[in-house]
Amino acid sequence: MTSLLSGHGLHKSFGPIPALRGVDLEVAAGEVLAVMGPSGSGKSTLLHCLAGILAPDAGEVTFDGRRIDKLLDGRRSRLRRTQFGFVFQFGQLVPELTLRENIALPLLLGGRGRRGSVAAAGEWIERLQLTDSADRLPGEVSGGQAQRVALARALIAGPRVVFADEPTGALDSVAADEVMELLVTTARAEGASVVVVTHEPRVAAFADRQLTVRDGRAVLPAVAP
Amino acid sequence: MGIVRRMTVSYALLGLLNEADRHGYDLKQSYDRRFGATRPLRFGQVYRTLAQLERDGLIAVAGVEPGAGPERKRYSITTDGVTDLERWLSEPEDPQPQLQTVLFTKVVVALLSGRSADVFLEEQRQRHLAVMRDLTRQRREASLRDGMLIDYQLFHIEADLRWIEHAAGRLDTLAEEIKL
Ligand SMILES: Nc1ncnc2c1ncn2[C@@H]1O[C@H](COP(=O)(O)OP(=O)(O)OP(=O)(O)O)[C@@H](O)[C@H]1O
Ligand SMILES: [Mg+2]
Q: What is the rounded CA–CA span in Å between residue A63 and residue A206?
A: 23
Please give the CATH superfamily to which domain A1-83+159-225 belongs.
P-loop containing nucleotide triphosphate hydrolases (3.40.50.300)
CA–CA min distance B114, chain A (Å): 20
- Using the mean position of ligand 1's atoms as its centre, give its distance from the Cα of residue A166 in Å: 14
Q: Which ligand is nearest to the CA of A53?
A: 1
**Selected residue of B122, B126, B156, B171 to mutate for chain A interface (largest A Cβ count, 10 A):** B126
- Using the mean position of ligand 2's atoms as its centre, give its distance from the Cα of residue A44 in Å: 4
pLDDT in tens, chain A (225 residues): 579 999 999 999 999 999 999 999 999 999 999 999 989 999 999 999 999 999 999 999 999 999 999 888 888 888 998 999 999 987 689 999 999 999 999 999 888 899 999 999 999 999 999 999 999 999 999 999 999 999 999 999 999 999 999 999 989 999 999 999 999 999 999 999 999 999 999 999 999 999 999 999 998 754 443
Nearest to A203 by CA among A163, A168, A172, A154: A168
Domain ranges of chain A: 1-83+159-225, 94-158
pLDDT digits (tens, 9 = 90+) for A52-79: 999 999 999 999 999 999 888 888 888 9
Which residues face A66 on adjacent strands?
A: A63
Q: Do the beta carbons of residue A158 and residue A120 sit within 8 Å?
A: no
Taking the CB of residue A61, how many other CB atoms lie within 10 A of it?
21
Residue of A nearest to B150 (CA): A202
Determine the average pLDDT of the residues in B78-83.
96
Return the half-sphere exposure (C-beta side, CA atoms, 13 A cut-off) of residue B167.
24
Q: What is the rounded CA–CA span in Å between residue B76 and residue B63?
A: 9
Kindly list the residues from chain B whose CB atom is less than 8 angstroms away from the CB atom of residue A225: 126-127, 129-130
| Alpha-carbon A219 to chain mean position | 21
pLDDT digits (tens, 9 = 90+) for B49-60: 999 999 999 999
Degrees to nearest 5, angle at CA A35 with B142 and A28: 80
Backbone CA torsion sign across A13, A18, A22, A25 = negative
**Is 0.90 surpassed by the pTM of this model?**
no
**Selected residue of A33, A209, A210 to mutate for chain B interface (largest B Cβ count, 10 A):** A210
Check pocket membership of A198 for ligand 1, CB cut-off 6 A.
no
- A/B interface, count of CB pairs below 8 Å: 44
Q: Do B119 and A222 touch (CB under 8 A)?
A: yes
pLDDT band for B168, please (50, 70, 90 cuts): confident
